[in-house]
Each structure stands twice: as structure tokens, then as C-alpha cells.
Amino acid sequence: DQQVKQNSPSLSVQEGRISILNCDYTNSMFDYFLWYKKYPAEGPTFLISISSIKDKNEDGRFTVFLNKSAKHLSLHIVPSQPGDSAVYFCAASGFPGTGANSKLTFGKGITLSVRP
Amino acid sequence: ETGVTQSPTHLIKTRGQQVTLRCSSQSGHNTVSWYQQALGQGPQFIFQYYREEENGRGNFPPRFSGLQFPNYSSELNVNALELDDSALYLCASGPWGRDTQYFGPGTRLTVL
């Protein structure tokens, strides 16, 4: 039972263009959604998060959009840079500080390649 | 400020053996969680520790156990290793009540 789904395994974009990474979830009890970036031989690095009470959160080149009715979120990277090439994981959790409910549930990840 | 560190980096064991993985939390973080990441998959939650007690557990058998120490460092112990235990084991720390967890570089465990 995969509660967080990243259906596209890979994405390739040209440097300077927009990268749009998509994520769907099935559990309506999720309260927070996060994006992590992972390089080979490193642990996941936190990028950006959004609470379920918001529909958009922006941090520099990264913007996350949340559509609760569709149970869908997306990460936009503008402009894309070659250093953005990595595996991106979408994750979701329940309300923080609630033990197992605050665990992170991850998707399988999407490999982003930014071509120079 | 030191981030999350894990040791060892790599480990090779044989079936039936026991293994202990170690993690040092980021300064100021009082929760620690452990995740297992199999090849081609996202990390899977094993358990979380807060105030030296297990505070939530994923779908892992009892042979996966852990400890959290007063200085917020942690250990993951796995008994009776199986071939399917081969994976990247990630430790993550965070402040209690906050949504973001910060990950260490992981320990790559290979079971032969």
C-alpha cells in the first residue's frame, strides 16, 4: 500500500528551464509535505516543506504547490541548474510530535537530470 | 553546528549475525528516527526515539531494536540478519514537535 506516489521515475530538462516534479498521496490524514534531494552516497537533504493549511510555499528557486482536493503536490525549480541533478523524494507526515504519526512516508523518488 | 553523523559508512555481515549501527544527532535535536532504504525505493520508517524511549514504530519485526542515549545519540541493532536486510540505513534527527527531519549520510549494510 503505497501512500505517497511519484509515478514518473525520471525527468530531463534543459538548464535555465523549469523543472516540475509531481507527487500524489492517498492518506487524507497527512498534515505536512516535504521534498528532499539526494545525491549518490549522501543522505537526503531537506529542501522545502508545506503545511496542509497552505497551498503554496516558496524558497528561492524552489516552490511547492499543494492541491488538497486532488491529493497532489508539485515541486517547481526555476531556473533549473546542472547542480540540481539528483534524486528528489516527496515525503508526507502526520502532525508533528505525535510519534508514529509524525513519521515520514516517502515516495520512490524521481531522478532529475538538468542538461547544460 | 555539526549535522547528523553515522558510523560505520559501510558494513558487510553474513546471515544470522547481529549488527549495531550508530548515529549522532544534530545539536539541539531531541528526536531520532531510523529509516531503511532498499535499492530503488524511498526510505521506510523503522522507529523513532524521544526521551530515550521508542515513540512509534513502522512495519519492522522485533529483531530491529534501538536505543537513544541522554546525549541524543542513538543505536540501531538488528539481530539474526537476513539477506533482505541489505540496504542503506538512514538516521534522522529533529526537534520534538517540528515536521522537518535532517538525515545523516547513511550506513550501507550488505548481508551475504
Whether residue A113 has pLDDT greater than 70 = yes
- Omega before A79 cis (within 30°)? yes
CA dist., res. B112 & res. B105, Å (int): 23
Of B58, B100, B104, nearest to A46 by CB-CB distance is: B100
CB contacts of B57 in chain A (<8 Å) are 100
pLDDT tens, position by position, A3-17: 999 999 999 999 999
Cβ-based contacts under 8 A for chains A and B = 74
Count of beta carbons in the 10 Å neighbourhood of residue B10: 9
What is the per-residue pLDDT for B30?
A: 86
- On whether the CB atoms of residues A25 and A94 are closer than 8 A, the answer is no
Chain A: residue whose CA lies nearest to B96? A97
**Does A32 contact B92 at a Cβ distance shorter than 8 Å?**
no
What is the per-residue pLDDT for B95?
A: 84
What is the per-residue pLDDT for B67?
A: 94
Chain B: residue whose CA lies nearest to A42? B105
* Banded model confidence at residue A96, pLDDT cuts 50, 70, 90: low
CB contacts of B55 in chain A (<8 Å) are 99-100
- On whether the CB atoms of residues A4 and A52 are closer than 8 A, the answer is no
Chain B: residue whose CA lies nearest to A30? B99
* Banded model confidence at residue B11, pLDDT cuts 50, 70, 90: very high
Q: What Rg do the C-alpha atoms of chain B give, in angstroms?
A: 13
pLDDT tens, position by position, B39-81: 989 999 999 998 888 888 999 999 999 999 988 899 999 999 9
Give A16-37 as a DSSP string: TS-EEEEEEE--TT--EEEEEE
Tell me the shortest Cα–Cα distance from B102 to chain A, in angstroms. 7
**Does A97 contact B102 at a Cβ distance shorter than 8 Å?**
no
Question: How far, CA to CA in Å, does A22 sit from each of A6, A53, A112?
Answer: 6, 19, 12
Chain A: residue whose CA lies nearest to B39? A108
Q: What is the mean pLDDT of chain A?
A: 92
What is the per-residue pLDDT for B84?
A: 96
Task: Collect all residues from A whose CB is shorter than 8 A from any CB in B.
Answer: 4, 31-32, 34, 36, 41-46, 49, 51, 89, 91, 93, 96-97, 99-109
Question: How far, CA to CA in Å, does A66 sit from each of A1, A51, A63, B100?
Answer: 22, 9, 10, 17
- Which range among A14-23, A73-82, B86-95, B96-105 shows the weakest confidence by mean pLDDT? B96-105
Average of pLDDT values for A88-116? 86
